[in-house]
A = this chain, B = another copy of it.
Amino acid sequence: MSDPSSLPPAPAPADPGPTSSAHQRRKAERPQELLDAALELFVEKGFAATRAEEVAKRAGVSKGTLYLYFQSKEELLKAVIREQLSSRIIAGAQVAAQHRGSCAELLRSVFPTWWADVVRSSSSGVFKLVVGEVRNFPDIAEFYQQEVVEPGLRLVSSIVSSGMERGEFRALPVDMVAHSILLPLVMLCIHKHSLGVCCPAESLMDPEAFIRLHIDLILQGLAQPGDGA
């Protein structure tokens, strides 16, 4: 994984000079360890119910250290959210852009794998986190909308839209179709980190299978009536 883009003080990967050592390496990894710990806990308990000291402890450092890397608990939240995106979406977009073949094929091949990976990864938690906290932190909303929601929707919409143009799909409101495709996947992520923890749902246990089924339904739903699709 890459591009921790705008990490806070960003203690430069360090020059492996004479002082550089395990100690240095630790130092360089601290922010990421804190972000990981914070993601886990914020997703698990919610932002307000998570104590800064818990995050520090799970990251293996002391309370004070957290504040060396992040100005406040709120900044930590924002960093956590910022961290979990772009890269994967950009990658997805590139794959899509390079795709040659029918839109149905695109949605049936890469898409489910990519999403199933998201669901299985720890990134899936951000959806729950963002959904729960946006209203308390309005700048998260804007940021998230621009960096995740819109790119994601645009990506799917463009596939759907070109499918319609090519005549593969029925002509329907593109954005709604995109939502019809995406919302259950987002909900899958959210479920995994909320009710799913206590009451696992049989049919959601295998994300890829569910996603494939869902895509299959939608694709046949989109197909031109009369097609043997």
Q: Which residues of A approach B to under 8 Å, CB–CB?
A: 44-49, 128, 130-136, 138, 141-142, 144-145, 149, 172-173, 175-180, 183-184, 186-188, 190-191, 193-195, 197-199, 201-204, 209-210, 213-214, 216-223, 225-226, 228-229
Contacts and interface: CB of A to CB of B under 8 A. Distances in A.
B197 A135 contact: yes
A176 B210 contact: yes
B179 A145 contact: no
Contacts of A214: 176, 179-180
A179 B195 contact: no
B46 A198 contact: no
Given A141-B198, A145-B195, A217-B221, 7 more contacts: A44-B135, A132-B194, A135-B197, A178-B203, A221-B221, A225-B228, A225-B229
B213 A180 contact: yes
Residue from the set A136, A173, A220 with the largest chain B CB neighbour count within 10 Å: A220
Count copies of this chain in the complex. Answer: 4
A16 to B, nearest CB: 22
A210 B179 contact: yes
B220 A219 contact: no
Contact of A135 (B45, B204, B210): B45
Contacts of A172: 213, 217
Contacts of A186: 187
A131 B195 contact: yes
A23 to B, nearest CB: 14
A199 B144 CA distance: 10
Contacts of A197: 134-135, 141
Contacts of A203: 173, 175-176, 178-179
